[in-house]
């Protein structure tokens, strides 16, 4: 019997043992109903579940179809991307190689293989970095310990930071290798041949520290070398810094042109290099300025010897464009560490010493002295004042008459430039003319002198000439001729009343240009005289090269007249020479009657000096002319 039925019968049976059938049937009916409900519920839930699962399955199928389509499309897109990627990689200008986290090759492009002379057949994905290196060692593109190299690369990749390094191949190529770690532990490397770039960079680096014209170190490298040298100066040791400035180099550029100037600088550079030891450094820091670092000198005399050698080497004449050119150099020397423990101080002091050399008359060397600093400041002040003096009308011309020893009349008056400084009073020309030369004021100042002298002469009674000194710079200036013509025209002065005085130094430099200009001036009727004859080279060839109208015999010979037989002989010889060349002679610096008598006896045609008259103003001169017009000095 089913245990439920047994239970129902037991439940329907009373304590007396009789079965309550009605109760039993009700229980049975309830049980049937329970079963029916359960069956219906089960059926319903099963069909709903099937429906739901069916829906889920349909959705799943639809999703699968959609996802499959998407995946196919993505697959196609990936394939296309892969093709584009492969094309891009194979056309890269850099070599590209990718390794996995086990240092095994994943991919590399053709450029990578070609760069290291590797055969595509011998390199396959899965090969290790070490294998690739061994192949490269075998074909000679690299020399290294493959294991050590691979370990180094791996250590850098493991550190997780991108790295760039440069390697030199055995054939001289430089390769830049950029390692970029990837998520997951591998890395990608790009290899670029940067040989040309590196060479260009090195060239640029060289250019940045060297002078293009001479190839010498420039100011940048000068400082580096000087700092280095100073760092190595030990107790008791010294070094010297020589600052060289070519004297009147500008004149070479102006007269012969810049190419000739550049050529001269190259020649100077070569000579300088020949003067120094390998341990010394020659630098060019600007137009005509050079520095020499003389390392590790034992004694100051070492520096002195070098300065002398330099001066000699530089002043030896140059054959430039089939002309002979002579140039001097002014040298300033500073000694480290005594004159400065840092580069700035040493360079500054060498600069100051060089200006000391310039002031001392050029072509010489000077060692730095502490008082130079004060002198330099004074000079700068003067330079500033000189620039203002022109605008402020502080210049004045005075004239010293030149006496004709035959007629006793004033043949000519030499214009002498005077500067009345508002505070310092009268500044001697020897002090300010060199500055005017250096700062470029000499040309406008010289033009003013010519113009003023012509204007003054036009006011004088009579026909006395006015003599004006020309500096070498003026003579090679292209504007000289127009300026002279303009001055004559403005003053309405006849050209034969203007006399220009030049020194030997003018002819020593660029004589061809100078001679051409002198001839042009003389063709206008202007007289040209040789000033201070006897003080320079006194080369007779100069007298032959140009038909001077007059030779002015320097005061040093006149001063010795009657005291030294050499002076008498020289004056006599010059007079003889002048006569034979059809030139007149003027004795300069005649201060006594005895000197006057002597120069007259020796045959000089003219005399100039304090004995007759000191320099006077144009106004005083005019008065003198008016007063003494009729007076003969022949008896004087």
**How far are the Cα atoms of 116, 174, 408 from residue 171, in angstroms, in the given order?**
11, 9, 91
Tell me how far, at minimum, the Cβ of 23 lies from another protein, in Å.
13
How far is the C-alpha of 191 from the C-alpha of 584, rounded, in Å?
86
Residue range at the interface with another protein (CB under 8 A); choices 52-60, 146-154, 247-255, 352-360: 52-60
Nearer to another protein among residue 32 and residue 610 (C-beta): 32
Q: Is 634 in the site for another protein (CB under 8 A)?
A: no
In DSSP notation, 410-443 reads EEEEEEEEEEEETTTEEEPHHHHHHHHHHHT-HH
Q: Taking CB under 8 A as the rule, does residue 44 contact another protein?
A: yes
Cβ-contact 373, 352 below 8 angstroms = yes
- Nearest distance in Å: CB 62, another protein: 16
Instruction: Supply the minimum distance, in Å, between the C-beta of residue 29 and another protein.
Output: 11
* Chain mean position to CA 586: 50
User: Which one, 44 or 424, has the nearer CB to another protein?
Assistant: 44
Q: Return the SS3 of 564.
A: coil
Would you count residue 39 as binding another protein (CB under 8 A)?
no
- Copy the structure tokens of residue 295: 């390392």
Among 9, 24, 31, 300, binds another protein (CB under 8 A): 31
Choose, by CB under 8 A, the member of 20, 38, 70, 597 that binds another protein.
Answer: 38
Q: Does 27 bind another protein (CB under 8 A)?
A: yes
Binding piece for another protein, criterion CB under 8 A, among 40-48, 106-114, 216-224, 561-569: 40-48
Minimum CB separation of residue 48 from another protein in Å reads 6
49 lines the binding site for another protein (CB under 8 A): yes
**Contact between 7 and another protein (CB under 8 A)?**
yes
Give the span between the Cα atoms of 282 and 233, in whole angstroms: 18
State yes or no: residue 147 binds another protein (CB under 8 A).
no
Could you tell me if 292 and 272 are in contact, meaning their C-beta atoms sit under 8 angstroms apart?
Answer: yes
4 versus 581: smaller Cβ distance to another protein: 4
Backbone angles phi, psi at 406, to 5 degrees: -80, -50
For another protein, which residue of 6, 53, 71, 338 counts as binding (CB under 8 A)? Answer: 53
Position among 6, 25, 30, 360 found at the interface with another protein (CB under 8 A): 30
Q: How many angstroms separate the first and last alpha carbons of the chain?
A: 185
What is the radius of gyration, based on Cα positions, of the chain?
52
Question: Interacting stretch for another protein, rule CB under 8 A, among 4-12, 359-367, 423-431, 600-608?
Answer: 4-12
Q: How far is the CB of 70 from another protein (least distance, A)?
A: 23
Q: Which of residues 56-95 bind another protein (CB under 8 A)?
A: 56
Give the range of 27-35, 65-73, 188-196, 377-385 binding another protein by CB under 8 A. 27-35
Place of tokens 């770039």: 197
Alpha carbons within 13 A on the beta-carbon side of 321: 15
Which of 20, 52, 66, 373 forms a contact with another protein (CB under 8 A)? 52
Position 41 contacts another protein (CB under 8 A): yes
- Measured CA to CA, the distance from residue 197 to residue 208 in angstroms comes to 16
Q: Does 12 bind another protein (CB under 8 A)?
A: no
590: helix, strand or coil: coil
DSSP assignment, residue 13?
Answer: B
The span from the CA of 575 to the CA of 567, in Å, is 12
Told to check if 632 binds another protein by CB under 8 A, we report no
Could you say whether residue 54 binds another protein (CB under 8 A)?
A: no
Please report where in the chains the tokens 């490269």 appear, as a residue.
136
Neighbours of 182 (CB within 10 A): 14
Name the residue with tokens 């002279």. 484
- Least Cα distance to 599 among 539, 548, 549, 559 occurs for 559
Of 39 and 84, nearer to another protein (C-beta) is 39
**Contacts with another protein in 394-413 (CB under 8 A)?**
none
Rounded Cα–Cα distance for residues 350 and 334 (Å): 5
Are 488 and 468 a contacting pair, CB within 8 Å?
Answer: no
- Does 505 engage in binding with another protein (CB under 8 A)? no
Which of 45, 324, 388, 539 is in the footprint of another protein by CB under 8 A?
Answer: 45
Residues that bind another protein (CB under 8 A): 4, 7-8, 27, 30-31, 34, 37-38, 40-42, 44-45, 48-49, 52-53, 56
């Amino acid at each position: 019997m089913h245990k439920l039925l047994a239970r129902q019968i037991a439940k329907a049976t009373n304590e007396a043992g009789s079965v309550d059938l009605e109760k039993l049937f009700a229980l049975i009916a309830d049980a049937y109903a329970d079963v029916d409900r359960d069956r219906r519920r089960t059926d319903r839930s099963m069909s709903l579940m099937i429906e739901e699962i069916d829906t889920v399955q349909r959705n799943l199928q639809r999703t699968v179809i959609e996802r499959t389509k998407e995946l196919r499309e993505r697959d196609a897109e990936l394939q296309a991307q892969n093709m584009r990627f492969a094309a891009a990689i194979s056309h890269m200008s850099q070599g590209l190689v990718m390794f996995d986290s086990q240092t095994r090759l994943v991919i590399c492009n053709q450029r990578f293989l070609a760069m290291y002379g590797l055969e595509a057949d011998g390199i396959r994905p899965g090969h290790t970095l070490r294998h690739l290196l061994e192949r490269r060692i075998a074909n000679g593109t690299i020399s290294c310990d493959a294991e050590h190299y691979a370990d180094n690369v791996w250590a850098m990749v493991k550190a997780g930071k991108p790295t760039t390094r440069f390697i030199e191949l055995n054939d001289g190529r430089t390769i830049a290798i950029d390692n970029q770690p990837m998520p997951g532990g591998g890395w990608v490397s790009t290899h670029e041949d940067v040989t040309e770039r590196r060479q260009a960079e090195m060239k640029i680096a060289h250019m940045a520290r060297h002078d293009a014209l001479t190839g010498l170190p420039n100011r940048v490298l000068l400082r580096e070398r000087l700092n280095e040298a100073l760092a190595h100066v030990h107790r008791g040791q010294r070094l010297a810094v020589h600052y060289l400035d070519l004297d009147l180099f500008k004149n070479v550029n102006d007269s012969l042109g810049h190419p000739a100037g550049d050529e001269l600088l190259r020649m100077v550079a070569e000579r300088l290099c020949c003067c120094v030891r390998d341990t010394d450094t020659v630098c060019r820091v600007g137009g005509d300025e050079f520095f020499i670092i003389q390392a590790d000198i034992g004694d100051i005399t070492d520096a002195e010897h070098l300065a002398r050698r330099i001066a000699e080497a530089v002043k030896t004449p140059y054959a430039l464009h089939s002309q002979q050119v002579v140039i001097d150099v002014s040298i300033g020397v500073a000694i480290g560490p005594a004159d400065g423990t840092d580069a700035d101080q040493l360079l500054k002091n060498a600069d100051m010493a060089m200006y000391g050399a310039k002031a001392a008359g050029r072509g010489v060397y000077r060692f730095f002295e502490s008082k130079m600093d004060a002198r330099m400041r004074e000079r700068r002040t003067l330079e500033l004042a000189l620039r203002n003096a022109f605008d402020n009308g502080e210049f004045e011309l005075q004239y010293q008459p030149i006496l004709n020893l035959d007629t006793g009349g004033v043949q000519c008056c030499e214009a002498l430039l005077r500067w009345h400084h508002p505070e310092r009073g009268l500044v001697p020309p020897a002090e300010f003319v060199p500055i005017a030369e250096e700062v470029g004021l000499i040309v406008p100042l010289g033009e003013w002198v010519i113009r003023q002298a012509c204007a003054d002469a036009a006011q004088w009674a009579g026909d006395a000439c006015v003599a004006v000194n020309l500096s070498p710079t003026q003579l090679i200036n292209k504007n000289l001729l127009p300026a002279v013509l303009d001055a004559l025209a403005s003053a309405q002065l006849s050209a034969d009343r203007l006399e220009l005085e030049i020194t030997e130094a003018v002819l020593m430099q660029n004589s061809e240009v100078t001679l051409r200009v002198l001839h042009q001036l003389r063709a206008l009727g202007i007289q040209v005289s040789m000033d201070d004859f006897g003080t320079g080279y006194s080369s007779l060839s100069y007298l032959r090269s140009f038909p001077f109208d007059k030779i002015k015999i320097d005061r040093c010979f006149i001063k010795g007249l009657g005291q030294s037989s050499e002076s008498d002989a020289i004056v006599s010889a010059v007079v003889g020479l002048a006569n034979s060349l059809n030139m007149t002679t003027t004795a300069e610096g005649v201060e006594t009657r005895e000197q006057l008598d002597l120069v007259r006896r020796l045959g000089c045609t003219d005399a100039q000096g304090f004995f007759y008259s000191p320099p006077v103003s144009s106004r005083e001169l005019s008065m003198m002319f008016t007063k003494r017009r009729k007076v003969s000095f022949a008896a004087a």
